[in-house]
Each structure stands twice: as structure tokens, then as C-alpha cells.
Amino acid sequence: MRRFKPTVVIGIWLIAGIAGCQPGQYTAKRHAPGYQPPPSQSQRTIVFRAKVSALPSGPLTEGKGADDVVEVVLPGRVYERPLKVEPVTKRDDADRSAPEKASASDFSAFRSGDPEWLRENFTEDDYPRIKGLVEDVNTRKRNQALFKGYDRKAIVARCTYKEYVLMLVQYDDARDQGIVETYQKVKGDWKRTMAISGDDTVVVLQSAFRSGEFVEQKK
């Protein structure tokens, strides 16, 4: 069970050399777009930490050593018991009124191999990027076999970034293969999107999930 410590931090911090870090040692700091000052009431946040050695070369890692740590803090929560994602039996039963339900629809669409179901789970802007997995029969069959082979899908944590909801999900409790699913609200429904898949923040979350650490903090 993860133990949480109180904090009043909200937004995004990028920090080098977290281990043993003292005030004044922070080398980089920025807030997420749309950042607002912390509210007076209790606010959950998640601290994500990833080693530079586990991140791709770029602005986040420039000038830092392999053992330095990049830290991201976002509003969100870590579930003490991961939320089980129950598959949806039929496409007509899919419900995307919440990100968690949209994740269930996503899981079920891959298991079914239904191209229209796969397509409607993503935003229209994402279609050029997912066209292959929707229209190519062999790709759909490979994905269908893969997802049917999973016994469980679970949501380990949920956070917000910009106008998106990011969820850390894993299949059959394999955290080292976990992924960050990103959802955006479109006309009342939550749709999966890859619009920020290459964003520095998402890259850190992905690395922290698989091989780093993430800890919930509460004011």
C-alpha cells in the first residue's frame, strides 16, 4: 500500500536531482497551462517521478545526469485499490459519459474487433492516426487476439492536465507494460485521443508509471 504525505503543490514542477533535494536545489519549475492558484480546500495531487535515464533525449533531460529525476505534479488521485474496468458486452451498451466508462468501451472495442466501435471511441481528429488499426483487417485481428488474452484491466490512477483526463491503466497487473490513456470531452462524451501523446508531461507520466514512482499527496 502506498503511503501518502500532505502537500499544497498544484500544477507541474520539473525538478532535477530530487533524491535528498533541499530548498533552493530546484533547477527547473513551471506551471501547467490553465494553472490556477491552489484552492483553500483540500486538494489531491499526484507526484510523478522518472529518472532521466528512462526518458528520451530532449529539453527535459538536457544538462542533467542519468540518475537525476524529473518530477511532475498534477491534480489527481491514486486508487488504493485499482478500479476494475468491466468489459461492455455490446457496442450499443457502450457509455462514454465518464472517462472510466469510456475506458471500458475502449477495452471492449478492441476485444470485439468492431471497426466502427473502435473509431467512435476516438475523437474525429485522431482518425488519421488510428486509420490503420480500424481499417486493416489483420491489424484488428491481432489486436483482438491480444486484448482477448487479458483477464483484467484496471485503472491505477487518474489526473487532469489542460483539458484532458489522463488515466494510468494496466492489464493483468503488469505495471511495467502500463499505459497512459488520454481522454477529451467532446459534445458530452469522453473520447480517447492521442493529441498530446508526445507531450513532455505525458512522457514523464508514462515513464514514472512503468519504472519510476507516483505518489498521491493531500493538503
Reported pTM: 0.80
pLDDT given at position 118: 97
Instruction: Break the chain into its structural domains and give their ranges.
Output: 83-192
Q: In percent, how much of the chain has pLDDT > 70? A: 80
The correct answer on CATH 3.40.640.10 for the domain covering 83-192 is no
**For residue 204, pLDDT beyond 90:** yes
DSSP letters spanning 65-120: -TT-EEEEEEEEEEEEEEEE-PPPSSGGG---SSHHHHHHHHHHHHHHT-HHHHHH
Do residues 82 and 155 touch, judged by C-beta distance below 8 A?
Answer: yes
Please write the tens of the pLDDT for every residue from 49-99: 999 999 998 888 889 999 999 999 999 999 999 999 999 999 999 999 999
Please write the tens of the pLDDT for every residue from 137-178: 999 999 999 999 999 999 999 999 999 999 999 999 999 999
Measured between alpha carbons, how far is 66 from 69 in angstroms, rounded to an integer?
8
